[in-house]
Structure formats: structure tokens, C-alpha cells
Homo-oligomer: A and B are copies of this chain.
Amino acid sequence: MADGPIDAKIGIIGGTGHEGSGLALRFAHAGFSVGIGSRSEPRALARARELAVALRSAGRSANLTGMSNSELLDFADVFFLTVPFASAPDTVSGLSFPPGKILVDTTVPVSFSGGRPSVVSLEEGSSSERIARLLPATVRLVAAFKTIPARLLSDVDTPLDCDVFVCGDDDGARTEVMRLCEAFPGLRAVNAGRLANAATVERMSALAIELNLRYKVKYNRWRLVGLEQ
């Protein structure tokens, strides 16, 4: 990644879901080479083809490839974990990340009861901290994109017009992920400190989802006012 983020190959673990597909589209649209991973290689291939067709029919470049999650480990430089939070522990436990690679956790521990979302209380404090305990120390874990609505990511012509809160205990990895975020139009990357702050960011995501329902809107997301004086 010495020559800038555009050189990083992006790997989306669980890239066939809404969040993963949205990130894949945005990164491909920004010129990155993107691998879409899935437990099922055929599903990954189908989704990559579908996203590439959508981008090319809009006259965009589309450097997208589908593959199994384990093939993705050899392909990419930076990984995004976009599986549902409940599957995240099994998913990361089943993968052997090459040492030194960055893994970006996007999961949010939300459950729905009677249609109402609420944060799932985790002993570790946050979904990111739970995942951290399952990873070898050689994987550089960063939390990001937790508060960006998945379906808004898929609408590549709409500027995101919000902040992304990037947390992690590895300063260098957090800085690299912040740099990647800046490739998305209208997205401001905020250094949100240590990984434990993911607990706050995950709660903010759950509150935004609750407010989507109450206010009958789709894309609630967050911005700090006052960060630039």
C-alpha cells in the first residue's frame, strides 16, 4: 500500500450480503480491485458478476472477482468482515489470516424483537472486541463502517454525506483504514480511538436503525458537528 490506497486489494468476507455488496460496489467504483468472498464459491461468483454488470452498464470500471472466503485470504491486502454479527465468531475462527494483514470489522450486534431493534449485550463490550479475542495477535483489527446503512452503500451515485468512525488499537492500521475511507465521496473518516470505543459506535448504529423505523426513513447515519473549528 506504499503508493496509496488504490493499490490495496480489497477482500470482502461475506460479500454476498447487503453490507458486503455495498462495500464491494463502492470500492470497485473508486477503482480498487475487489474480491467478493463467500462460504459458497458459486454464490460469490454470481454476485461478483451481477455487481460488475451493474457497474459496467453505468459506464464504470468494475474490477470484481468472486471466490471462496479462504481463497480471498491469498487475494486481498485488506479484509472487510461483513457477515451477520452472530456468524462473525465462527467465520473468523475458520479463517487463517496471513500475518500483518488488516481486518476491518463492520458487524453490529443488533437483534429484533417485535420489529424493534435493540443492542445485544455482549460480555466483551462490543462485537469487535469479541472478534479480537478470536484472532491471533498478528491480525490487525480495525472497526469501521458500522454506522453506514448497507443499502446506502449500494447506491454508488449518492454521496454518503456522513462520518465513518474508525476504531482500533493498532494506530498504523487505523490510519490506513481511514485513508481507504477517504476514497468514498462525501465520507469523512474520524479517528474514534481505541477498539473498545466500538461499543459506542455499535450502539449508535442500533439507535439509527430504531430511528429509521420511528421516522419512517431508510438511511439515518451520523455526523459530528464541531470537529473542524
Contacts and interface: CB of A to CB of B under 8 A. Distances in A.
Interface of A: 119, 149, 161-162, 190-193, 197, 199-201, 203-204, 206-208, 210-211, 214-215, 217-229
A207 B215 contact: no
Given A223-B223, A225-B162, A207 B217 contact: no
A117 to B, nearest CB: 10
A161 B196 CA distance: 29
Contact of A192 (B211, B223, B228): B211
Q: Which of A190, A206, A207 has the most CB of B within 10 A?
A: A207
Given A200-B207, A220-B225, A222-B225, 16 more contacts: A119-B200, A162-B226, A191-B214, A192-B207, A193-B210, A193-B211, A197-B207, A199-B203, A200-B200, A200-B203, A200-B204, A203-B203, A203-B204, A221-B224, A222-B222, A222-B223
A162 B161 CA distance: 15
Q: Which of A200, A207, A217, A226 has the most CB of B within 10 A?
A: A226
By secondary structure, the A interface counts as: mixed
Contact of A221 (B204, B220, B226): B226
14 contacts: A162-B225, A200-B200, A200-B203, A200-B204, A204-B204, A211-B224, A217-B226, A217-B228, A219-B225, A219-B226, A220-B224, A221-B225, A222-B222, A223-B223
Contact of A220 (B197, B207, B226): B226
Given A192-B207, A200-B207, A214-B191, A229 B225 contact: no
A222 B223 CA distance: 6
